[in-house]
Structure 1
Amino acid sequence: MLQILGEVVEEPILEAIKSSKAIGLEIDESTDISVTKQLDLHVRYTDKEGRMFCQFLDLVSIPDGTAITIAEAVKEVIIRKEIPQDRIFGLGTDGAAVMTGRRNGTAKLLTDSWPGLVNSANRTSALKAAASVLGVEDLKVTEVKDTRWLSQEKAISNLQRNLPAVLATLAEEAELKKDPVARGLYTYCATYRFVAAVHLQSDILPYLAQLSKLFQKEDINFMAIKNHVPVTIETLRIIKAAGERQPEGSFLAQVEEKVANLNISAEEDRVRRGTALPTDTLWARFQTQVMEPYIDGLIEHLELRFQQLGILGAFSSLGPQGPQADESRAISDLQLLAKQFPPISEMALLQEWQSYKVLITTGILKDKSQLEIMTAMASGSSEGEANHPVQCQAG
């Protein structure tokens, strides 16, 4: 009975998915209460009016968590549910290497089967791994979502501002109440390394949060993303290269002053060696053991996650400013999109581009936002005016 009811509910959803011009998949690996590995599949699609929908697709048990197993399970579900494979253009995963690996990751294996696929790691394990290096997962002034840059940035900002109060409270609990947990936390936090780590993240996380916000805008600017990712990566490289000569006004430039004001004297060195090391030695050790690996890890994950910036940037030619930009660049962008999404005819796309420019510059799409333009394109017309088609050759 449950199977029959499930099929009745699922049937109209599958029909809507099959009629969509563009389909995206979201996959995530998990483990159930019996410690059996499972794969959670969701699907995103648009209807004929261009409205976006997200639906649960399937939950399948898998024998292991290898990229080959995950990719085969995804393809099996797609084939079994008869979803058009030539319309699958998007893939959302977490940032784990098994999903995003350049050579043998799940995304790479699926791209081999579906060449039009564009992968986006919508969650990252970069900061989670970096937090493990820094050892700050359990010290949260505000709640931290381990895979969210914005919550990481807010938590670190609060901690940096309140660090004197946090350390004072821990010291009081340890000395007056003889609390062993407070003593352990104070012993760990009242160190040059910990203070420097907090200041390092205070310098870096705002750049990552700003990048994250670009993706959360309803009216997303593709060219801004294409330009902003390399800028963010280069900014991280500059911070790393500056070493102990950080620019005035940065948080890292204030580390030694902050350590002095907190009246701590390298707790870790007192405990382990019986004497404190000079600050230049402490900085050198922090730089090689924490700062450089942390930044290298962030850069590596950013480069891994954003391998298709050219394709993202090409969509900017379909935005409000696209037809007013350089004609040769627009044509190059359209050729790239036609090549990436084979159902689109390059010749037909370039021909349609001419009428599209008129609609954007002087026609019914003039002064419309990018979201409004994309909605009109997906629905096949703008504001119900059938005399001004805005067709999508992919469909």
Structure 2
Amino acid sequence: MLDKIIIYNGFLKDGLSQTRFLSILPLPNGKADTITNSFKNYNFHSPRCVPLEVMGASVMVGARNGVAAQLRQLIPHLIIKHCVAHRLTLAAGQASKGLFYLQKDILGDLYRFYAKSAVRTQRLGDIQELMHEPGIKLVEAKDVRWLSHDKATTTLRRCLPSVYTSLEYETEEHNDSRAAGLFRFTQNYQFVVTTHDV
């Protein structure tokens, strides 16, 4: 459910595309009427306001009573665009379904392996210190947060040697079968290639 909405303005100035953040508005609920009413303080009735870029949820793009449909009744010349970042995420997700290797949530598995155990997290931190790596905790990749996958991958890439050492330690010293599986999977060349810039 939507609990906040970000409003920003895209425009051309001196032939260059500009984007300006306007506001983050709290929403008491995620209903189309509530979201539409939240736009009232902004001059969307201007004839110069042409496109509206939204995510693809039905509350936003529903043909009968979605936010876009309600705004189009107020502004007949409005052009509705599906958010490019959201479309890219959806396309990547759909494309990955055809690749067995990418169906495994390895970033999530690694995150949970450490996040659910303060002891394992501490041991990883100790290994990072011994290896003179920055003390980095793995980051959760959330499906609804587009940039979180990049952050999770970048974070893992920065501490991959210590994660390998930690997984090997957990496998050999604590006979942890999950660590053994993660260790095998992450040492596969496909994992290394997909987590590094090529």
Q: Tell me which protein shows more helix as a share of its residues.
A: 1
Larger RCO (CA within 8 A; separation ≥ 6): 1
Asked which structure has the greater CA Rg, the reply is 1
TM-score, normalised relative to structure 2? 0.48
